[in-house]
Structures are given as structure tokens and as C-alpha cells.
Amino acid sequence: MKHLSSLCSISILTLISLFCLTSCGDIISDLKINADGSGSLETSFDLGDLMSMAKGFGGMGTDSTSFTDDTMPEPAIAMPDTAKDPMTLLIEKITDPAYDRDVDTLMSISSIMPDSVKAKQTNPDLAKKLFLRLTSPANSANLKVGIVANFDSPQQLKEMMQIMENLEEKPGMMPDAGPMGFQTKSFLVFEADMKTGNIKVAPVDYGAVSAEMGMSQDSTGGSDAQGMMEMMFGNSKIKTIIHVPGEVISCSNPDAILTKDNKVLLEYDFMDVINKGSIDGFTIHFQPGK
């Protein structure tokens, strides 16, 4: 599907709100590092059939037969329907099982920012290196949402993540974005010495996500909240894929899988991460190319 340049007026708040739901599926961080320290990071969130589930919940009402005269709730005040923005309409279209086309589209986040948000960007050229990716198979309600960052150096990647964080934190820039927002602290960042072949991946903070879900480090498996979370997210994984520009010699994380095609693979149980509130950092040593 071609780049959707016509969606320049899309509200980026819709994009942010999707990230409030991403914990229902796998989270995949795919980091590709070139020999000069440039590369790309795609953080994708597999929502699965969540979109169709949300539509189903939207049509559910209250069964009045379960109430007595004493417990009958007060009738809700009808609220007027609000117009759906182009992003919501696009997502509903491509996740309709009747839609018979595969969708894999990439659009600049800068292009879908409202003018009021663009005007507050201190580094608009850097914002143009951030992209939104939507993927959905034909005749399916499945949806994968990704954020793609094309960076020139590890430091520039950090600066790009700061732009994403500013969309959430600056007063007036992202009103009503919700408490979770992009959660950019959950995105990978790293430092590297490409000459000696050392890559240091920073710890990943999931504390805000844990708090949003009502979890804490002292949660017990017998609690009602824990049981509900296990039921909803027990099969979800957080996966990390790091492509390095040379033969992988070692990784300080003992659970890492080192492949012959110069990749480091790590997989975490989502609930374990949420209970802990973070993922530990690690160091990769590789043989630089000549």
C-alpha cells in the first residue's frame, strides 16, 4: 500500500491511544545497527484480534434482567456521537474481515501531526525520521502497529525517543493523550564502540506500564489483579532482535541466543517483566568487519 501522504490532518492522539492497548499481544523490538553506528529501530505491537474484540465490546449493553427494583441503576445520559478522525476510519477499514487487501503501509509521524503540534517541534528534521507502520492481512481483524526510527548514531536515536516522549509530556502538546501515551521509556536505546565491537543496551523501564496495570513488584500470584492479568496477558511476550555488523562473540545476558547471521535474540514473558517493572541492560561483543 502506498505512503498515505493525504492523511496529513490525522490526529496523532489516535496513534497514542493505540499504545494503551498494546499489552494484549507481543511487543517486538527489532534493532539493526550498521558498522558506522547508524541503523533503524522498529518497535511493533501485535494487537491480534483486539480491534474486532473492541468492536464487540462496544455493542454490549446491560442486561436489565439481572437487576431488582432496588438495584436498578439510573439510566445513562445519552452522549452525542463524535466524528471519527481519519486514522480511526483507516484502522476500522483495514481490520474489517471483509477487506480483501493485505496492508503494509509506512507514513511519517511528522506528516500526521496537527499543525499546532508541528509548530512546537524544536527539531522538525529529526521528527521526519520517525514513521508509523500499520500491517494487517487481507480478510482479517489482525493489526500490528509499529514505530520506526531511522537514526544516524546511537545519540540521535536517544534524541528521537526524546521527541516521542515530548509528545506525551509537554503541557498542551498532546492533550487527553491518556496516562500511558507512547511509553518511550520502554523503547530500546544503546551506546556503542564500533571500533572495538561493543554494544551496551540500556535497561528498559516498564514501571509506568506496571503502574498503569495496577501491578507492583510485590504482587502475588494469588491476588485477584494478578489472576486477571495472567488470564489476559499470560501468553504475551516481549521480544528483542538485535542485528550487529559482524560476528557475535558474546552477550552478557545468559538467555540470549546468538545466531550465525549476526543476530542476538532475547524473549521475555510479559507478566514477568510487568511484575519486575523493567528489563535488565546487557552488553554485546562482536567482531568488527575489516
Look-up of cell digits 494469588: 222
67 in a structural domain: no
The answer as to whether 62 is a domain residue is no
Return the closest-CA partner of residue 191 out of 42, 37, 31.
Answer: 37
Residue 158 lies in a domain: yes
**Position with higher pLDDT, 133 vs 69:** 133
Helix segments in the chain, DSSP class H: 12-18, 50-58, 86-94, 115-118, 124-127, 154-169, 207-212, 224-233, 270-276
CB 63 within 8 A of CB 71: no
Asked if residue 119 belongs to a domain, the reply is yes
Lowest mean pLDDT, pick from 6-15, 62-71, 74-83, 130-139? 6-15
Residue 41 forms part of a structural domain: yes
Min mean pLDDT across 60-74, 115-129, 146-160 is at: 60-74
> Into how many domains does the chain fold?
1
Q: Is residue 177 part of a domain?
A: yes
User: Can you give the residue range of the structural domain that contains 266?
Assistant: 5-53+84-288
Question: Is 66 domain-assigned?
Answer: no
